[in-house]
C-alpha cells in the first residue's frame, strides 16, 4: 500500500507542476491555452533525447547528465512556446483557444510521424531516472518522490515571488483590462508572451519528470485528454492561486485513479473497457458542480486591496476581512470561467 501511495504522489505532483504552469497563463494572465499536452510532450521528448540510452532508429542516446536534461526540456518547451506565441498571442479568448488546440495536435502528430526524431509510434524507452541513492529500508520510488517534492516547492516559490512582484501585478492588470494597462504604458503583448513562454516551459519541466519517472513515452501519452485533466485540476483547485493549483492536481488525480480502480473492481470484464468513458463523465460532473457551487474553485484567488484604497465600513461589514473567505477575490476580478 505504501508503494502505491508513493507512486500516486509522484504522478500527482508531476501534474501539479504542469498545473502551476497553466495557472500562470490562465489564472494570472487570462491566456486560454488548450495545448497543454503539446508543451508537456516537448519537454518529455527533449529529456528523453538528451538523457536516454543509445537506440537505433531515432535521434538520441546522448546520455547527458540528468540536470542537463531538465534544463534542456525547459529550454525546448520555451522555444516552441516563443515560436508559437509570436503570431498567435494577439488573438483573444476563444480564438486563442482554437489555435492552441491546433498547436497541441500538430506537436502530437509530429511526434507520431517523425520516427527518426521521436521513434514514431514505437516511442522511446530506457529513459533514465535521477541518479539518487537508494535509501535502505524504503521503496525505490521514495528518492524520486523527494526530488519531485523539491521541484514542486521550487516552482511554487518562484511563481509566488513572480506573481506578487510588480511584474505579476501587470499580468493581473492585463487580465482584467488590457486596454487600461496599455494606456498606462504597459506592452500587453510582451507581458502575455513572457507569461506564455514561462508557463509552457514549466509544463515542459513536468513532461521531463514524467518521462524520467515512467521510463517510456510514446505519442499516445500526450492526447488531448491530458489537457482536459490538467484544466479540470486547475478549475477544481482554483485558478489565480498556486496553492489551489497544487491541491486541485492532487485531488483530481485521486478521483481519476480511484474511479479507474473502482471500475476494474466493480464492473464485469465485458464492461471494464467502458470504464475510461465513465471516468471522463465523472470528471465532467465534478466540473459542472464546481462551476455551479464554487465557481472560483476550492481555493480561489486571494483578494488584494491597494494600501491607498479606502473601503467603506458598510462594504467591509458586508464582505468581511480580505482573508476570511478562501474563495474571495478582489473587486473587479473575473469569474473562473472567463478571462
Residue 288 lies in a domain: no
Q: pLDDT band for position 198 (50/70/90)?
A: very high
Q: Is the pLDDT of residue 322 over 60?
A: no
Of 263 and 49, the one with more pLDDT:
49
Residue range 201-246, pLDDT digits in tens = 999 999 999 999 999 999 999 999 999 999 999 999 999 999 999 9
Cα 182 from chain centroid (whole Å): 28
Residues 255, 286 contacting (CB under 8 angstroms): yes
Residue 272 lies in a domain: no
- Radius of gyration, alpha carbons of the chain: 21
Of 98 and 264, the one with more pLDDT:
98
Q: Given this model, what pLDDT does residue 333 score?
A: 45
Measured distance CA(169)–CA(140) in Å, rounded:
43
On average, the pLDDT of the chain sits at 88
Q: Is the pLDDT of residue 318 over 80?
A: no
Q: pLDDT band for position 260 (50/70/90)?
A: confident
Of 320 and 338, the one with more pLDDT:
320
Residue 325 lies in a domain: no
Residue 17 lies in a domain: yes
Residue range 263-316, pLDDT digits in tens = 777 777 777 777 778 888 899 999 999 999 999 999 989 877 655 556 566 665
Residue 327 lies in a domain: no
Give me the number of domains the chain comprises: 1
CA dihedral 7→13→18→20, nearest 10 degrees, is 170
Q: Given this model, what pLDDT does residue 321 score?
A: 52
Q: Given this model, what pLDDT does residue 327 score?
A: 40
Residue 270 lies in a domain: no
Please name the helix (run of DSSP H) or strand (run of DSSP E) that holds residue 120, with its range, or none: none
pTM of the model: 0.88
Flag the least confident range among 19-28, 30-39, 83-92, 146-155: 83-92
Q: 66: which strand partners?
A: none
Residue 141 lies in a domain: yes
Q: Given this model, what pLDDT does residue 278 score?
A: 82
Of 317 and 30, the one with more pLDDT:
30
Cβ neighbors of 89 (< 8 A, separation 6 or more) are 31, 96, 189, 192, 193, 196
Q: Is the pLDDT of residue 324 over 50?
A: no
Q: Given this model, what pLDDT does residue 262 score?
A: 83
Using alpha carbons only, what angle is made at residue 249 by residues 245 and 251, rounded to the nearest 5 degrees?
A: 115
Residue 253 lies in a domain: yes
Q: Is the pLDDT of residue 137 over 80?
A: no
The domain in which residue 49 lies consists of 2-257+294-319
Q: Is the pLDDT of residue 132 over 90?
A: no
Domain containing residue 218: CATH number: 1.10.3470
Amino acid at each position: 500500500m505504501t508503494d502505491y501511495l508513493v507512486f500516486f504522489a509522484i504522478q500527482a505532483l508531476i501534474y501539479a507542476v504542469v498545473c502551476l504552469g497553466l495557472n500562470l497563463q490562465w489564472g494570472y494572465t487570462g491566456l486560454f491555452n488548450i495545448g497543454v499536452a503539446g508543451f508537456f510532450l516537448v519537454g518529455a521528448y527533449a529529456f528523453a533525447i538528451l538523457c536516454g540510452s543509445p537506440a537505433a532508429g531515432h535521434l538520441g542516446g546522448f546520455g547527458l547528465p540528468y540536470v542537463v536534461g531538465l534544463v534542456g526540456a525547459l529550454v525546448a518547451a520555451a522555444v516552441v512556446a516563443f515560436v508559437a506565441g509570436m503570431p498567435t498571442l494577439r488573438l483573444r479568448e476563444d480564438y486563442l483557444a482554437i489555435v492552441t488546440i491546433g498547436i497541441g495536435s500538430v506537436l502530437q502528430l509530429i511526434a507520431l510521424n517523425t520516427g527518426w526524431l521521436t521513434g514514431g509510434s514505437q516511442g522511446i524507452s530506457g529513459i533514465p531516472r535521477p541518479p539518487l541513492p537508494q535509501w535502505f529500508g524504503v521503496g525505490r520510488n521514495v528518492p524520486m518522490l523527494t526530488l519531485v517534492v523539491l521541484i514542486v516547492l521550487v516552482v511554487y516559490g518562484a511563481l509566488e515571488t513572480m506573481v506578487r512582484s510588480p511584474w505579476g501585478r501587470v499580468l493581473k492588470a492585463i487580465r482584467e483590462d488590457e486596454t487600461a494597462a496599455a494606456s498606462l504604458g504597459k506592452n500587453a503583448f510582451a507581458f502575455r508572451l513572457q507569461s506564455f513562454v514561462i508557463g509552457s516551459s514549466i509544463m515542459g519541466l513536468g513532461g521531463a519528470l514524467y518521462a524520467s519517472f515512467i521510463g517510456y513515452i510514446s505519442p499516445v501519452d500526450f492526447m488531448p485528454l491530458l489537457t482536459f485533466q490538467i484544466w479540470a485540476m486547475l478549475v477544481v483547485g482554483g485558478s489565480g492561486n498556486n496553492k489551489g493549483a497544487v491541491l486541485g492536481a492532487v485531488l483530481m488525480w485521486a478521483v481519476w485513479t480511484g474511479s479507474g480502480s473502482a471500475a476494474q473492481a466493480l464492473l464485469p470484464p465485458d464492461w471494464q473497457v467502458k470504464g475510461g468513458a465513465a471516468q471522463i463523465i465523472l470528471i465532467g460532473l465534478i466540473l459542472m458542480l464546481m462551476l455551479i457551487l464554487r465557481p472560483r474553485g476550492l481555493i480561489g484567488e486571494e483578494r488584494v486591496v491597494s494600501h491607498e484604497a479606502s473601503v467603506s465600513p458598510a462594504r467591509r461589514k458586508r464582505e468581511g476581512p480580505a482573508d476570511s473567505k478562501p474563495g474571495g477575490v478582489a473587486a473587479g476580478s473575473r469569474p473562473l470561467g472567463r478571462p
